[in-house]
Amino acid sequence: MDRLVLVRHAMPVPDPDVPSERWRLGEPGRTAARALRAVLPPDAYLVASDEPKAVQTLQEAAGQPDVATDPDFGEVRRPYVWAADEDYRSVARAYVEGAAHAGWEPHAAVAARFGAAVARHAALAGHRTLVVGTHGLSPTVWLAGVVRLEPSPAGFWQSLGYPDVVDVDLAAGRATRRAGP
């Protein structure tokens, strides 16, 4: 792998009766994802979380239906709570800052599974760019252990748009947002 690009999914259509890991993109999300085509490299190796919103974002952004999936690129596993029931962003920010919430996947487990998936797919990508369709929390937790996130992991997470593109330079120890709202 010569290069790693993370693509945070576009805004899905929320449904309070469906767990967020099953949410799909509506037309506004698909349109936003298509706007990323200009920043994604051609002939990339494409893989996404197995969550529909991540797969659909990468399909639209890359302009092709053939996207491999890997559940290890999925979002942090946590109890589903409709956002109207609690201040999700505050709870999620506290998690990124290191809080260990009851029922939430431990940070070390997130970093290990995400990192293992990067290594697996980097080997498959060879010299092509590895483009990963993913989420916000899980890549931030992984990145916090392998690069310096500016201004902080929580600040980085909060800056991510729906969708967004992040170039990761593991050798230089940095992650740089390239696109987003």
List pLDDT tens digits, range 25-70. Answer: 999 999 999 999 999 998 899 999 999 999 999 999 999 899 999 9
Residues 6+ apart with CB under 8 A from 55: 48, 49, 67, 69, 133
Of the given ranges (78-92, 108-122, 154-168), which has the lowest mean pLDDT? 78-92
Amino acid symbol at 176: T
Look at the alpha carbons of 50, 11, 4, 1 in this order and tell me if their dihedral is positive or negative: positive
Structural contact between residues 27 and 12, judged by C-beta atoms closer than 8 angstroms:
no
**What are the residue ranges spanned by the domains of the chain?**
4-78+86-179
pLDDT at 179 over 70: no
95 near 104, Cβ under 8 Å?
A: yes
CATH class (in words) of the domain with range 4-78+86-179: alpha beta
Q: Is the pLDDT of residue 83 over 70?
A: no
What confidence score (pLDDT) does residue 180 get? Answer: 59
pTM of the model: 0.95
